């Protein structure tokens, strides 16, 4: 990779960029992006986000690891996003390989290429980016140590559908294992190890899963028979967790994009894990144990970011920010300076059941946008099944407070196709929305002269690994369509809007989420036939996917809509995310008995995640 080539990429880009939509996405140069001298670095890392710039630049995990790697001596981490199709076509026409935004160097010359797997429907984008980089998509076809292709993120909890493409996965939180991996690589390179020799060594690092070191055998019916480790690789790979969130690395600055990303603001991470145990929610289990940052640390993080970015909004992010035990303390600390700096706070993940008046008052000091709640299901029975411990009274009470505080628009999130769901549960969704509408008009002190809008947003339920519903069959596309139709027929008020997620998208997500290695060939075929960025409606090609399943002789419903018995070996059973399979089985049984499970603060249910803490205890 000579200087000549670099200049070539820049010159070629100048010829094509003005033909693309929002070219600023492809040139770097943003505030706080890190540019180093090539001669001063010996380890080049391409942090690849397999989605568009706007999505990737909204992602907190990438910001953390980008800054952390760049704080390491001699390491240069750069960002790479999936180009939109106009840019991709021009890159392919002009022979421009995928490059890092900071240096404009082709990433195929880097030491390590890391993908974050946030969403099953970004798998084809991973293959497409490897191909755009000029690399073979299959791990076995990349013979040399460099570039090593690694991946992490929530979808790494069942990495089997992409096991043939990725050299190694990092399970769990990356702040400690990624720098360790970099050092291991440097040592291996100095010793002249082969790729396989390095992978053998890496497999001994906690949290590292090298799929090529595991043989998977299948039963005649297609289910997994056994997963056998080779060459001393651990039989079970345990995910990594950070013990003390007040000591973990957190960036002092974020890159401030020119082009507006989805979330254009500072973010502080209030807590990790979740005490709730909603049975459909993968994040609620795979990020356990529950750990909080102290208000002092968070206040410091928020001040640093405000100072270095100039953002006028700070998001308090977590799976459930109102479960933060010191929320009022934190808000008091923040509000004492954010007002003066004209900075707004946003709390995206509040729960209906503990949205106190004091909290609403504090939140009301910031900009008023719409109010969103996620009851997830329409009847109490259904909410008990999914363990979403929210009652109708709580929804009504919170909406009352909100309407009296001036809100006139409420958005309610629900899921369709939940286990044991009946028509009554679907009708319950509309009934709940109608009750919110009626509530608004019954209030004497509602905002004057303004109507109310209640939006119902319904997503198809996707059973995920590492949840109590990992055994459940998913509703088929046809069933989802029927349910949508029925739901719509129940709506009689024009104050209620209904939004759907595409049923086909949910169906494919369901297949990939609980897939095994047999899906690698399907993903490769679909990608070769033009599938890419499947999470986007304008890119999603369901028919092409279905053809790929057919060509590969694989029935997608085997993965999505088949009920699994409790003793079936699941493709991800050799990965340990803390919560035990025994607990998921117990929870599944309780779901079918319409029984709730108390949250972790009320009573420990023995999920097993406490084993991940050094002292074996949870700190709630």
Partner 1 sequence: MSQQQIPFTDIRVFYTRHGSARYISHLDVSRCFQRALARSHLPVWYTQGFNPHIYITFAMPCPLGYESRCETMDLRLISEVPMEEVRDRLNAALPPDFRVTRAAFPVHGTDDIACADYRVEVSSPQKGAAELEALFRGMLAQPEIPAEKRTKKGSKTIDLKPLIELRSLASDGSGLRMVLRLAAGNANNINPTLVFDTFSRLYEVELDCLRVEKLAVYTDNPIRDEEFE
Smaller CB distance to partner 1: residue 126 or 268? 268
Smaller CB distance to partner 1: residue 27 or 60? 27
Which residue blocks in 108-210 are alpha helix, DSSP H?
123-132, 174-191, 195-202
DSSP letter string, 208-259: EE-GGGEEEEE-TTSSEEEEEE-TT--SSEEPB--S-TTTS---S---B-SS
CB of 345 to partner 1, least distance (A): 14
SS3 of residue 453 by DSSP: strand
Q: Which of these segments, 48-56, 161-169, 303-311, 397-405, binds partner 1 (CB under 8 A)? A: 303-311
261-265-269 Cα angle (round to 5): 115
69-291-357 Cα angle (round to 5): 120
d(CA 277, CA 274): 7
CB of 357 to partner 1, least distance (A): 23
Of 124, 212, 82, nearest in space to 160 by CA: 212
> Taking CB under 8 A as the rule, does residue 6 contact partner 1?
no
Both tokens of 471, joined, read 């055994």
Q: Which of 22, 196, 581, 611 is the binder for partner 1 (CB under 8 A)?
A: 22
- Interface of this chain with partner 1, residues 469 to 488, rule: CB under 8 A: none
Smaller CB distance to partner 1: residue 258 or 566? 258
> Taking CB under 8 A as the rule, does residue 235 contact partner 1?
no
- Interface of this chain with partner 1, residues 523 to 562, rule: CB under 8 A: none
> Taking CB under 8 A as the rule, does residue 260 contact partner 1?
yes
Torsion sign over Cα 421, 422, 423, 429: negative
Contacts of 395 (CB under 8 A, 6+ apart): 352, 373, 375, 412, 432, 436
CB of 67 to partner 1, least distance (A): 17
> Taking CB under 8 A as the rule, does residue 14 contact partner 1?
yes
Q: Which of 8, 304, 308, 529 is the binder for partner 1 (CB under 8 A)?
A: 308
Residues in contact with partner 1, counted by CB under 8 A, come to a total of: 28
Q: Which of these segments, 48-56, 258-266, 283-291, 538-546, binds partner 1 (CB under 8 A)? A: 258-266
Q: Strand pairing partners for 458?
A: 414, 500
CA 19 → CA 52, 83, 89, 531, 604, distances in Å? Answer: 17, 13, 11, 23, 58
d(CA 500, CA 271): 30
By rule CB under 8 A, what string of x and - marks binding of each residue 309-348 to partner 1? xxxx----------------------------xx------
Q: Which of these segments, 210-218, 254-262, 326-334, 564-572, binds partner 1 (CB under 8 A)? A: 254-262
Q: Which of these segments, 162-170, 232-240, 243-251, 307-315, binds partner 1 (CB under 8 A)? A: 307-315
Both tokens of 556, joined, read 């997608």
Q: Which of these segments, 28-36, 327-335, 403-411, 541-549, binds partner 1 (CB under 8 A)? A: 28-36
By rule CB under 8 A, what string of x and - marks binding of each residue 344-383 to partner 1? -----------------------x----------------
Q: Which of 256, 364, 557, 596 is the binder for partner 1 (CB under 8 A)?
A: 256
Smaller CB distance to partner 1: residue 283 or 366? 366
Residue 55: half-sphere exposure toward Cβ, Cα within 13 Å? 17
Q: Which of these segments, 23-31, 127-135, 220-228, 244-252, binds partner 1 (CB under 8 A)? A: 23-31
Smaller CB distance to partner 1: residue 19 or 589? 19
Of 514, 517, 586, nearest in space to 165 by CA: 517
CB of 310 to partner 1, least distance (A): 3
Using only the alpha carbons of the chain, give its radius of gyration: 24
SS3 of residue 558 by DSSP: helix
CB of 361 to partner 1, least distance (A): 18
Smaller CB distance to partner 1: residue 33 or 404? 33
Q: How many CB atoms lie within 10 A of CB 206?
A: 15
> Taking CB under 8 A as the rule, does residue 15 contact partner 1?
yes
Smaller CB distance to partner 1: residue 35 or 336? 35
Smaller CB distance to partner 1: residue 142 or 265? 265
323-593-158 Cα angle (round to 5): 60
Of 444, 500, 438, 514, nearest in space to 472 by CA: 514
Smaller CB distance to partner 1: residue 38 or 582? 38
Phi, psi at 73, each rounded to 5°:
-60, 130
CB 540 within 8 A of CB 546: no
> Which letter does DSSP use for residue 283 in this model?
H
Both tokens of 91, joined, read 């890159």
Smaller CB distance to partner 1: residue 29 or 136? 29
CB of 258 to partner 1, least distance (A): 5
Please give the span between the terminal C-alpha atoms of the chain, in angstroms, as a whole number. 52
Binding region for partner 1 (CB under 8 A): 14-19, 22-24, 26-31, 256, 258-260, 307-312, 341-342, 367
């Amino acid at each position: 990779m000579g200087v000549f080539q670099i200049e070539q990429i820049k010159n070629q880009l100048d010829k094509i960029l003005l033909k693309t939509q929002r070219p600023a996405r492809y040139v770097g140069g943003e505030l706080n992006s890190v540019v180093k001298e090539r001669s001063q670095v010996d380890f080049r890392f391409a942090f690849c986000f397999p989605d568009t710039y706007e999505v990737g630049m909204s992602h907190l995990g990438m910001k953390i690891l980008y800054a952390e790697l760049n704080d390491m001596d001699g390491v240069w981490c750069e960002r790479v996003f999936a180009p939109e199709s106009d840019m991709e076509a021009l890159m392919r026409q002009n022979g421009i390989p995928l490059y890092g935004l900071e240096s404009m160097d082709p990433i195929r010359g880097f030491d390590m290429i890391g993908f974050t797997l946030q969403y099953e429907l970004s798998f084809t984008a991973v293959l497409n980016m490897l191909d755009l980089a000029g690399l073979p998509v299959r791990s076995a076809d990349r013979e040399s140590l460099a570039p090593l292709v690694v991946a992490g993120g929530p979808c790494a909890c069942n990495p089997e559908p992409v096991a043939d493409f990725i050299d190694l996965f990092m399970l769990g939180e990356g702040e400690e294992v990624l720098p360790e991996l970099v050092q291991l690589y440097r040592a291996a390179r100095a010793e002249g190890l082969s790729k396989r020799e390095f992978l053998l060594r890496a497999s001994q690092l906690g949290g590292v899963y090298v799929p090529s070191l595991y043989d998977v055998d299948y039963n005649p019916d297609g289910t997994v028979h056994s997963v056998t480790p080779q060459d001393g690789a651990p039989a079970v790979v345990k995910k990594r967790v950070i013990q003390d969130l007040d000591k973990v690395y957190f960036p002092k600055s974020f890159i401030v994009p020119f082009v507006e990303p989805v979330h254009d603001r500072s973010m502080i991470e209030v807590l990790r894990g979740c005490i709730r145990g909603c049975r459909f929610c993968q994040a609620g289990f795979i990020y356990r144990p529950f750990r909080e940052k102290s208000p002092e640390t968070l206040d410091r993080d928020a001040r640093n970011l405000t100072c270095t970015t100039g953002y006028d909004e700070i998001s308090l992010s977590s799976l459930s920010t109102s479960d933060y035990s010191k929320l009022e303390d934190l808000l008091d600390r923040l509000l004492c300076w954010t007002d003066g700096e004209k900075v707004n706070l946003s709390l995206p993940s509040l729960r209906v059941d503990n949205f106190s008046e004091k909290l609403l008052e504090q939140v009301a000091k910031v900009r008023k946008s719409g109010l969103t709640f996620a009851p997830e299901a329409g009847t109490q029975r259904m909410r008990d099944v999914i363990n979403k411990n929210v009652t109708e009274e709580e929804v009504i009470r919170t909406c009352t407070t909100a309407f009296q505080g001036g809100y006139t628009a409420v958005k309610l999130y629900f899921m369709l196709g939940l286990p044991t769901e009946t028509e009554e549960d679907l009708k319950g969704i509309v009934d709940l929305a109608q009750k919110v509408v009626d509530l608004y008009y019954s209030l004497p002190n509602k905002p004057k002269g303004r109507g109310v809008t209640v939006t119902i947003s319904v997503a198809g339920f996707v059973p995920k690994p590492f949840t109590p519903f990992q055994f459940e069959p998913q509703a088929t596309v046809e069933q989802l369509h029927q349910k949508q139709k029925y739901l719509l027929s129940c709506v009689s008020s024009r104050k209620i809007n209904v939004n759907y997620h595409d049923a086909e998208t949910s169906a494919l997500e369901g297949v990939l989420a609980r897939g095994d290695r047999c899906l690698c060939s399907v993903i490769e075929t679909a990608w070769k036939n033009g599938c890419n960025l499947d999470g986007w409606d304008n890119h999603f090609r369901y028919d092409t996917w279905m053809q790929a399943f057919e060509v590969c002789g694989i029935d997608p419903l085997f993965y999505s809509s088949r009920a699994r018995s409790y003793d079936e070996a699941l493709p991800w059973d050799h990965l340990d995310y803390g919560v035990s399979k025994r607990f998921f089985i117990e929870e599944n049984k309780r779901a079918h008995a319409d029984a709730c499970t108390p949250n972790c603060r009320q009573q420990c249910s023995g999920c097993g995640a406490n084993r991940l803490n050094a002292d074996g205890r949870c700190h709630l």
